[in-house]
């Protein structure tokens, strides 16, 4: 009787160990983060120079099983996502911009208004500065497109529209260059006061 009890306990221990190992593996994959520091003003006023971000690298990643799909917060890229990605013209550099155009969209910029498939896009996050009344031909800050975004690509723009090196200049972003979605500011340093405590845990929308 004692031997049977021991065997049952051992089997239970193996089972619990496997369950714990599986949970830990899912946890590690779910919370696969990358730190990223904002180096420029291209995303102002929403992200400031000196903001340090956490980036979720697995939110768009593939899952290996139905259990992972149930537990992990995996989803598709949506318009408005703020993404960190490999700069297409120099993949060793990381950029951060906002998704404005999705695959299949027709996008056009007229003045300070972006149109998606002929409809004006509401962008409360966008900042446009005052520019000279007469712009040089080819200045894409106020006139771009229309262009149709190919499958597997995205159109990225900085929130600071007149000070952003984005898809208006270097083209569409291949989906394979995406590294993850920016989640929140975990630390911010800059300006005369040093640490900007009011930016602590600031969520990125």
pLDDT at 188: 94
Quick check: is 179 catalytic? no
16 and 39 co-located in one domain: no
Walk along the chain (205 residues) and give the pLDDT tens digit of each residue.
444 444 446 666 666 556 655 554 554 444 578 899 999 999 999 999 999 999 998 888 554 445 444 544 578 999 999 999 999 999 999 999 999 999 999 999 999 999 999 999 999 999 998 887 767 778 898 899 999 999 999 999 999 999 999 999 999 999 999 999 999 999 999 878 899 999 999 999 9
> Domain with 182 in it: what CATH number?
2.10.109.10
Pick the catalytic residue from 8, 40, 42, 86.
42
- Number of domain units in the chain: 2
Residue by residue, DSSP assigns the chain as -HHHHHHHHHHHHHHHHHHHHHHHHHHHHHT-EEEEE--SSTTTTTS-TTEEEEEESSTTS--SSHHHHHHS------TT-EEEEE-TTSTTSEEEEEEEE-TT-EEEEETTEEEETTEEPP-TT-B-----SSPPTT-TTTEEEEEEPPTTEEEEE-SBTTS--SHHHH-PEEGGGEEEEEEEEEEEB-STTSB-GGGTTEEP-
166 and 81 co-located in one domain: yes
2 and 50 co-located in one domain: no
pLDDT at 3: 45
Pick the catalytic residue from 17, 57, 92, 97.
97
48 and 76 co-located in one domain: yes
80 and 142 co-located in one domain: yes
pLDDT at 99: 98
Residue 89's domain comprises: 34-203
Quick check: is 9 catalytic? no
53 and 103 co-located in one domain: yes
117 and 92 co-located in one domain: yes
17 and 89 co-located in one domain: no
40 and 14 co-located in one domain: no
43 and 9 co-located in one domain: no
75 and 23 co-located in one domain: no
pTM of the predicted structure, to 2 decimals: 0.79
pLDDT at 61: 59
pLDDT at 28: 45
53 and 100 co-located in one domain: yes
């Amino acid at each position: 009787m004692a031997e049977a009890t021991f065997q049952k306990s051992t089997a239970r221990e193996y089972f619990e160990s496997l369950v714990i190992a599986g949970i830990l593996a899912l946890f590690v994959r779910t919370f696969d983060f990358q730190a990223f520091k904002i180096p420029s003003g291209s995303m102002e006023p929403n992200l400031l120079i000196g903001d340090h971000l956490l980036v979720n690298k697995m939110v768009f990643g593939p899952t290996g099983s139905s259990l992972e799909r149930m537990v992990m917060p995996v989803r598709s890229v949506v318009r408005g996502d703020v993404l960190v990605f490999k700069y297409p013209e120099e993949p060793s550099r990381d950029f951060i911009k906002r998704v404005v155009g999705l695959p299949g969209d027709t996008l056009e910029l007229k003045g300070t208004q972006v149109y998606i498939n002929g409809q004006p896009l509401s962008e409360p996050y966008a900042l446009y500065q005052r520019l000279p009344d007469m712009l040089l031909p080819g200045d894409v800050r106020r006139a771009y497109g229309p262009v149709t975004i190919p499958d597997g690509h995205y159109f990225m723009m900085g929130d600071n529209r007149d000070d952003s090196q984005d898809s208006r200049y270097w083209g569409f972003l291949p989906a394979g260059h995406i590294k993850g979605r920016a989640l929140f500011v975990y630390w911010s340093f800059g300006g005369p006061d040093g640490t900007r405590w009011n930016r602590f845990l600031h969520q990125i929308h």
